[in-house]
Structure 1
Amino acid sequence: MNKIAIFFGPLDGSVHRVAKKVRDAIGEEKAELVPVKEASVTDLEKYDKIIFGISTVGKETWHSKYNNTDWANFLPEIGKTRYEGKTLAIFGLGDHVTYAQTFVNHIGLLGRELMENGGTLVGQVPTDGYEFDESESIIDGKFMGLPVDEDFEPELTDERVQNWVKQIRPHFGI
């Protein structure tokens, strides 16, 4: 398919809102929202250009099995296909105040899984301008994707999304 797929979860929350902002910045006719709750490996294989939207859960569920979250059910699908030749990017939501020790860690979790399956990520973001203590999403001094904090920095989301989409445009052919 020629459209860019934006696989995101969960539905009806902050990740969904930001997924819509990313889609709108790309152009609604060029991007399609795909809720991970309803997706499978077959859906992943349809697209050559994929953006993933994920949130990082709080400490109360950090070491649980995530049985009831959209991404917990979809993450095993990620490892069932190869990503060579695909254009991949990730945005992730996190709370840099309450969860400063695990800020947007799921960008790193997902990013590593994609890379282990042949994927190359675009859209890395410098850590400048972000306050946090630790993050598993950093490689070579940059986040593996776009961090967004809708809890404590919602006023920065639109500008961050716009700048990130400008950055990834050439990679996605838009």
Structure 2
Amino acid sequence: MSKIGLFYGPEGGNVERVAELIAEKIDADRIVIHKLKDCEAKDVAGYSNIIMGISTLGKHNWSSDNSGNDWDVFLPKLNGLNLKGKKVALFGLGDHIAYADFFVDALGDLADSIQLTGAEIIGQVSDEGYEYGDSRAFRDGQFVGLPLDEDFEDDLTLERVDNWLKLILPEFE
């Protein structure tokens, strides 16, 4: 069975806690966790099975002046990268109260970038049980990955992660 590369950013905070939780739930010999800020595109390309985690940080994300976070620096590195034949599962953090109309938008943006690489995105999740106004991550009746709200629904994270892993792990070779 191929190793899973788990890439997350930013370092510290909720995304890192969820990345570590996911890694704990998968056999240690099956997963390698990477802080995105320390990675190059070739690091991602070295895996057939990939998990990526991102957060939607707030209204400054939609500002043209915003740049320099881990994903802003990393995503351009994916340009031209061929991930055809690889499977990618995505998780994203957001705030469904303060940013109900932008809930996990960065998850949708990440999916757009990954689709351009030719990778197959797996692990789509129904919006059943979620409260939000709008989301760029919601498409064709489901989220493009696992949405989590560590600010107001952290009590649901463990169950949501467990259910998501049951969905994605059988798809990883």
Q: Secondary structure at 1:51's aligned position in 2?
A: strand
Where in structure 1 do 4 or more consecutive aligned residues deviate above 3 Å? none
Q: Secondary structure at 1:91's aligned position in 2?
A: strand
TM-score normalised by L of structure 1: 0.95
Q: Secondary structure at 2:77's aligned position in 1?
A: helix
Q: Secondary structure at 2:133's aligned position in 1?
A: coil
Q: 1:172 aligned to 2:162?
A: no
| Percent of matched pairs sharing the same residue | 43
Q: Secondary structure at 1:121's aligned position in 2?
A: strand
- After superposition, what is the alpha-carbon deviation per residue over 1:120-173, rounded to whole angstroms, capped at 9, x for unaligned? 111000011000000001111100000000000000001100110011111113
Deviation at 1:42, TM superposition (A): 1.4
TM-score normalised by L of structure 2: 0.95
Map 1:18-167; keep pairs closer than 5 Å. 18-167=18-167
Cα RMSD for the two superposed structures: 1.4
In the alignment, the residues of structure 2 paired with residue 39 and residue 52 of structure 1 have an alpha-carbon distance, to the nearest angstrom, of 12
Q: Secondary structure at 2:95's aligned position in 1?
A: coil
Q: Tell me the amino acid that sits aligned with residue 10 of structure 1.
A: P
Deviation at 1:68, TM superposition (A): 2.8
Deviation at 1:103, TM superposition (A): 0.3
Q: Secondary structure at 2:97's aligned position in 1?
A: coil
Q: Secondary structure at 1:134's aligned position in 2?
A: coil
Q: Tell me the amino acid that sits aligned with residue 2 of structure 2.
A: N
Alignment length, in residue pairs? Answer: 173
In the alignment, the residues of structure 2 paired with residue 82 and residue 102 of structure 1 have an alpha-carbon distance, to the nearest angstrom, of 29
CA contact (8 A) 1:79 1:114 kept: no
Q: Tell me the amino acid that sits aligned with residue 122 of structure 1.
A: I
Deviation at 1:117, TM superposition (A): 2.1
Runs of 5+ unmatched residues, structure 2: none
